[in-house]
Structure 1
Amino acid sequence: MVTIYDVAKKSGFSSTTVSKALNNYSDVSEKTKKKILETAAEMGYLPNAHAQYLSTKKSWTLGVMFSEANEVGMKHPFFSAVIESFRKYAERGGYDLILASRNLRTRDTSYLEHFLHRAVDGVIVICSDPTDPQVKEIVESELPVIIIDMDHQNCSIVKSDNVEGAKMAVRHLYDLGHTKIAHIAGVRSSDVSNERIRGYEEALKELQLPYNPEYLIDGGLFSIEGGKQAMKRLLDLPETPTSVFVAGDHMAIGAIEAIKEHGLLVPEDISVIGYDDIEMASYITPKLTTIRQDTEEIGKRAAEILIEQINKKNKMIVSERIPVELMIRESCSEPNREKRKK
């Protein structure tokens, strides 16, 4: 087995200098560093990422960037499930992940600079905040990029079929007999939120149901509290809806809490359908009917598309929509007959 001392002997430098070069210390000249790395690669001393890069022209690392306005990151079940799937398929391809630290924002370093310094081969961006200038900087760079949950013209994207998912939710409520269907939307700056709003509005039109602008409520940053406050506003309306399609399961849980605090029952008085199918959805009371996002497939396709770009050494522009599924549980039923008479 080749050691650092073997590399030092062959390159003609001290073991200290070799160690510094292999670990990219700034007090070693580029000329010296280049010679040492080339010697290390020739001798097969490749545990160090820099020497490995010389040998394969890859660092075998992928950068992970979160860009969401609420800064929940991997604490959100959807994001954590997508990243877990992405990690699994990336590792099968021989790649490790580097997660960009949030404290980069407090330092004079951008996410792009950080990833370039770490010599990543590509970047996955988990994004619900399309206004983030650092996302734009990464997209416009030469790095292969894949984005989850955002529309963009200059890079590859994988996302759920949010428009169809919203239509699925409204159709389910309509099939149960509901015509007064409200929607608690996510923050309007999110592409995902706007797609689900579009699906809601298109479904009402296709089903020839009246559109009541008061029934479209902004629930904010997909939080339980945001859903609860939005539902309270719906309950204060002169004519309350008999059902609510909520753009995220966390918000749906908050909506159910608000309904119960108002002295009403779910689904007897108001039916609630969510979006995501987080694990908690099947454990709350009543169990939440929701639209399931296929996080396993989203993560898998993101890894496959990103690795394909890296292997082809060509930045691809691919947009894939992953099908969703209606999960019928206990939170939706036929509308209350007394309410139907009003």
Structure 2
Amino acid sequence: MKKARTTITDIARELNISPSTVSRALNNHPAISKKTRDAVIELAKTLNYQPNLLALNLLRKRTNTIGIIVPEITSSFFSSVINGIQDLLSPLGVNMMISQSNESMEEEKSILRSFASIRVDGFLISPSSETKNFDHLKILTDNNIPLVIFDRDCEGLEVDKVFVDEYSGAFQAVEYLVKTGCRRIAHIAGPLSLSTARHRLKAYKDALALHHVPVKEEYIVESSGFTPEHGIKPTQKLLALPSPPDAVFAINDGVAIGAMYVIKKAGLVIPDEISVVGFDDDPHSCYFSPSLSTVWQPTYELGMLSARILMKRINSNNDLSDIRVEELYPELIVRGSSK
């Protein structure tokens, strides 16, 4: 039979004193004599007493725990963000509870309710692709629970936010393709419910317009996700056009890798006949043949800054008089998949 966990009541019973005396002794209260305090500490060690940290923190109105909700955990993007968060929180003695919404708003709501029920001190959330209504997030702010939104925007929600400048990164990529001689530049966009996808699409159009390259709607196709599989059908559609593209700018590296697979299978040579550029700088991107040109994002710094802002908000009792919106800057990485 599993041995029951030792409690303050057990120590009090053994020493024939009150539980409140034991509690004060363990917390080095000055009203408790040295003799009693030493006896309590010695017996606590003998019985392997472990304090109930959750109960103690609730009494102090803190759980020292942060709730983190991301669309998915397995991608290099979000795993790097989480590394940045952890490296900021761990030295502070703050714990993390991490869960993924699987790009589902309903799952996001369910996780949020679960985390809120155990009274986490604050939330770091990257919204799902289905999250178009923000009422469940506004409940947090209405109840004075600190919240930082990162990576994907919730437009109109007045909370701290940390982003990468998606527009700048996409503009760099498309402008580079134009300057290397590409004129039929296609864009495989992400789900346009996402702010990140909309910003990259706008940058694509603006970069072409700036360099007097016509924007043709048939060269813009939307993917339903972010894996290599999501790049296959859009690329097949593009290659079937009467005048197929001579370059593809993909919403992310996963979709770009799927595009490269289709292009190679069609017998086209990358980059001689068609250039490909992705977004995110996935750690595996440089190992493909040819290696993938892409836009690097400071994901680790994104996580660390988001966590720093949240902790400052928590420690200031969530004073919302000065909302912060921060942007980090990406960088184009040119490799073998583009001219």
Pairwise CA distance, 1:179:
1.7
Distance of 1:295 and 1:11 partners within structure 2: 54
- Structure 2 match to 1:119: 119
Distance of 2:149 and 2:105 partners within structure 1: 20
Q: RMSD between aligned alpha carbons? A: 2.8
Distance of 2:106 and 2:223 partners within structure 1: 29
Task: Verify the 8 A CA contact 1:150 1:191 in the aligned structure 2.
Answer: yes
Q: Residue 176 of structure 2 is aligned with which of 140, 155, 172? A: 172
Q: Indicate the SS of the match to 1:124.
A: strand
Pairwise CA distance, 1:139:
5.3
- 1:98 and 2:104 are equivalent in the alignment: no
TM-score (norm 2): 0.81
- 1:144 and 2:146 are equivalent in the alignment: yes
- Structure 2 match to 1:187: 191
Pairwise CA distance, 1:151:
1.9
- 1:49 and 2:54 are equivalent in the alignment: yes
State which structure, 1 or 2, has the greater radius of gyration over its C-alpha atoms: 2
Q: Residue 212 of structure 2 is aligned with which of 198, 208, 212? A: 208
Q: Indicate the SS of the match to 1:211.
A: coil
- 1:258 and 2:262 are equivalent in the alignment: yes
Pairwise CA distance, 1:112:
3.4
TM-score (norm 1): 0.80
1:123-175 alpha-carbon deviations (Å, 9 max, x no partner)? 11122423266445445542101112222332111111001111000111112
- Structure 1 match to 2:78: 79
Q: Residue 320 of structure 1 is aligned with which of 323, 326, 339? A: 326
Amino acid corresponding to residue 114 of structure 1 in structure 2: S
Task: Verify the 8 A CA contact 1:183 1:215 in the aligned structure 2.
Answer: yes
Pairwise CA distance, 1:200:
0.8
Tell me which moved more, 313-322 or 219-228.
313-322
Distance of 2:334 and 2:12 partners within structure 1: 63
Tell me which moved more, 302-311 or 260-269.
260-269
> What are the ranges of 5 or more consecutive residues in structure 2 without an aligned counterpart?
1-5, 28-49
Distance of 2:268 and 2:94 partners within structure 1: 51
1:231-275 alpha-carbon deviations (Å, 9 max, x no partner)? 111001111111111110000000000101111111111100000
Task: Verify the 8 A CA contact 1:112 1:138 in the aligned structure 2.
Answer: no
Task: Verify the 8 A CA contact 1:144 1:310 in the aligned structure 2.
Answer: yes
- Structure 2 match to 1:299: 303
